Structure 1
Amino acid sequence: MPHSFRRRAQRALMSILGIVSVVAVAGCAVSTPGDTGPGGDAEDGPVIGLVIQNAQFFFQGIQDEIEALASAGGGQVIVTNINDDSAQLAQAMQTYAQRGVDVVLVPALSGDSDMTAVQSTVDAGIPVVCYNQCIGDASEDIVSAFIRSDGTSLGTTTGEAAAEYIESELGGTASIALLNCDIYVECQLRKAGFKEALEGLDVTYVADQEGFLADKAVGVAQDILTAHPDVDMIWAVNEGGTVGARSAIAASDNVGKTVVFGTDISPQITEFLTTDDGILLATTGQDTKAIAKAAYDAGLTAIGGEKSDPFDVLVPGVLFTPDRPE
């Protein structure tokens, strides 16, 4: 019996027995802590467990697109925001297994350390598709697909724009501070790509500090500006870091002296790009719709009992600059 029909039969039986209190055959759901509830009523389509890492624009875009795709296919999405917490990820995976969803789409946070949670869901007969991040070298043996931005090229694309600026405006020499999120593999790839694009230039890295949540990134960037008032550039690894770096410079005496090259795109970052203060000069954004569509399609393939081919799908990003904010 195909996996999707088997799981639907199991759900129907559990409903009849009065065991299921959260997801019934009619598609109703009761929210649990961190659970934003269903994104549509399940009819003939799949019931998808969607984990989002946090409330940043990228994950909001993923959620919106997955919900739209599922709704168009007569399906349902049950969303859990884990707030960058591996313990909440483990709880979400357990909850989805208990609910008997058809597939789980998840951004594993910390590589191998989240393998147990993902493995337990797969062992319960529910396929898992990773997006954005996965569980390390063993991922292909456990999950059905890995959909992500090409992390290295996200960094390289911004780095190439930064290299052009350094050559044309700074004579090939620059002091640079980095706001990282090195606890995540994806962020490591972005930073490596950025630094690779600057090889051959006379570059000095005066700071390399964690700063990927906007509130914290502002303070980290302010401290960097205090310690290194002559720093030419701050590169930020993600949306929060980009917002934080630009905000710190805008509130300092470094306007006109220190610029930002970032990663990710959002309405706020677009506003910063088009503000005539010359601080944020370029950012490379992820193609959220393409990632969500690929993850959704991989989920349908997994429900059918197959793994995606290719397993690892890399989605290129897009460079945004003040003269190309669209």
Structure 2
Amino acid sequence: MQRFGKVLALAVLLASGFASLHAQAKQPVIAGIVFQQDQYFRTVQIGLRDAAQAAGAQLLEGDSDNKLEKESQLIDTYIARGVDAIVIAPISAKGSVNALQRARAKGIKVVTYGTSVNGDLAQVSVVSSDRELGQSTGDATRQYLQSVLAPGAKAQIATVAFKSQVPEQSDARVGGFLEKAGPSVTVVAQQDAWLPEKAVAVVGDIITAHPGVQVIFAANEGGTVGAVQAVKNAGKAGKIVVFGIDGTEQTAKALLSRDNILQAVTAQQPYLLGKNALNAAVALIDAKPVDTKIVVPSRLLTRQNPKQVQDFLAEIKKY
């Protein structure tokens, strides 16, 4: 009887061990791909990591460096590794399709965030509405100009965006901005400049070519940061103001600066984008119901509400 008990105990132990190995084997493996390294995408990655840890998933991180060829290579690498899902900010709505089609053909779940692709390749799309981001900043610009311009007057404005990088997203932001700010502005220049160092040069040239420009609108974080620095470099603080998109530590600090250059930005919530995208991938893997489109709300931050900006700054420093 004692021997039988030992055998039974050993059987239970072995069963437990096999169950543990089975659970480990079933750990979902998810690839998370960004297309550049800035504070926005670094915060997205933190959201991905936290959600993966909470879900017991293995996260493989990749950066396509804004190159379609590298994005395709990364996706093929993850296909070969047999990942369960790919969570990606695609570089191009059209150009990213072929690689993701290969992933779907292998049964890999595809979740896009921030940007997406044509057709129904993305089983879930987690987004901030780019048009609404632009509209929010456009509203803030119109209200500001109404407070400083004579009735019926228009301000000369220049826009810096990222049309040659991600045209669909860039156009939606600029279009939404002009839709709301339009009645109070005359556009004198439209250029691309999505990285800070490039934006410093581009906005500097715009200021030289259009000495009457009064407002710079930047469609992303890099453009906003660079535009603020360009206005400083030109000695135009107090004469030219900047409005932008993307809430980061740098843009928040610029809103709190005494130079009075940056007036408002509409912030995405990249941590929630990453977290929601990873959770959607896990739900797909587990065959659980999930919305095909998840919209993460944006937040308008203005110089006129420093407490809100300070609260935002404290929040993002947690990440």
Question: What is the TM-score of this pair, normalised by structure 1?
Answer: 0.83
Matched, 1:88 2:67: no
Which residue is equivalent to 1:212? 194
Q: What aligned pairs does 1:72-83 form with structure 2 within 5 A after superposition?
A: 72-83=54-65
Conserved? CA contact 1:44–1:75, under 8 Å: no
* Deviates most, 60-69 or 70-79: 70-79
Q: Which moved more, 1:184-193 or 1:234-243?
A: 184-193
Once the 2 structures are TM-superposed, how far is the Cα of residue 269 of structure 1 from its aligned partner?
1.3
Contact 1:229 1:254 in 2 (8 A): no
Report Cα offsets for 1:56-83 as digits up to 9, x if no partner. Answer: 1111011011111111222211111111
- Corresponding residue for 2:139? 160
Q: Which aligned pairs between 1:39-54 and structure 2 lie closer than 5 A?
A: 45-54=27-36
Match of 1:293 in 2: 275
- 1:84-127, CA deviations, whole angstroms, 9 ceiling, x for partnerless residues? 11111101100110111110001111111110011011112211
Is 1:107 aligned to 2:89, yes or no?
Answer: yes
Are the aligned partners of 1:129 and 1:144 in contact in 2 as well (CA < 8 Å)? Answer: yes
SS at match of 1:199: helix
CA contact (8 A) 2:44 2:272 kept: no
Q: How many residues align?
A: 282
Task: Return the alpha-carbon distance in structure 1 between the equivalents of residues 133 and 70 of structure 2.
Answer: 28
Q: Which amino acid aligns with 1:297?
A: N
Note the C-alpha offset of 1:44.
5.5
Once the two structures are overlaid, the 10-residue window that deviates more, 316-325 or 187-196, is 316-325
Q: In structure 2, what is the equivalent of residue 39 of structure 1?
A: none
- Residue of 84, 99, 122 corresponding to 1:143: 122
Q: Which runs of 5+ in 1 are unaligned?
A: 1-25, 27-41
For residue 161 of structure 2, what is the amino acid of its counterpart? Answer: N
Query: Which residue pairs with 2:294 in the alignment?
Result: 313
Instruction: State the match for 2:39 in structure 1.
Output: 57
Q: Contact (CA 8 Å) 1:211, 1:241: kept in 2 or not?
A: yes
Q: 1:188 aligns with which of 167, 171, 177?
A: 171
- One-letter code aligned to 1:113: G
- 3-state SS of the aligned residue for 1:112? coil
RMSD: 1.8
The structure having more radius of gyration, on CA atoms, is: 2
- 1:278 pairs, out of 260, 263, 270, with 260
Q: Percent identity?
A: 33
In structure 2, the residue matched to 1:198 is 181
**Aligned with residue 240 of structure 1, among 215, 222, 230:** 222
Contact 1:43 1:75 in 2 (8 A): no
What is the DSSP-based 3-state SS (H/G/I as helix, E as strand, rest coil) of the residue aligned with 2:182?
coil
More helix by share: 2
Displacement, 1:305?
4.2
Distance 1:312 1:178 in 2: 29
> Hey, what's the Cα distance between the residues in 1 that align with 2:73 and 2:85?
16
Identify which range, 72-81 or 297-306, moves more after superposition: 297-306
1:125 aligned to 92, 107, 123, which one?
A: 107
2:175 partner amino acid: A
3-state DSSP of counterpart to 1:198: helix
Over 3 Å counting, the alpha-carbon distance change for 1:275 and 1:43 in structure 2 is: farther
Q: CA deviation at 1:238?
A: 0.1
User: CA offsets, 1:187-244, max 9 Å, x none?
Assistant: 211111101112333x210100001111111110000011012211000000000011
- Confirm or deny: 8 A CA contact 2:46 2:271 kept in the other structure: no
Please list every run of at least 4 consecutive aligned residues from structure 1 whose deviation after the TM superposition is greater than 3 angstroms: 42-45, 305-308
Tell whether 2:238 aligns with 1:256. Answer: yes
* Structure 1 contact 46–70 (Cα < 8 Å) conserved: no
Matching of residue 116 in structure 1 with residue 98 in structure 2? yes
Structure 2 unaligned residues grouped into runs of 5+: 1-20, 312-319
- Counterparts of 1:314 and 1:68, CA distance in 2: 19
In the alignment, the residues of structure 1 paired with residue 186 and residue 177 of structure 2 have an alpha-carbon distance, to the nearest angstrom, of: 14
Give the secondary structure class of the aligned counterpart of 1:284: strand
SS of 1:109's partner is coil
Q: CA deviation at 1:134?
A: 1.1
TM-score, length of structure 2 as denominator length:
0.84
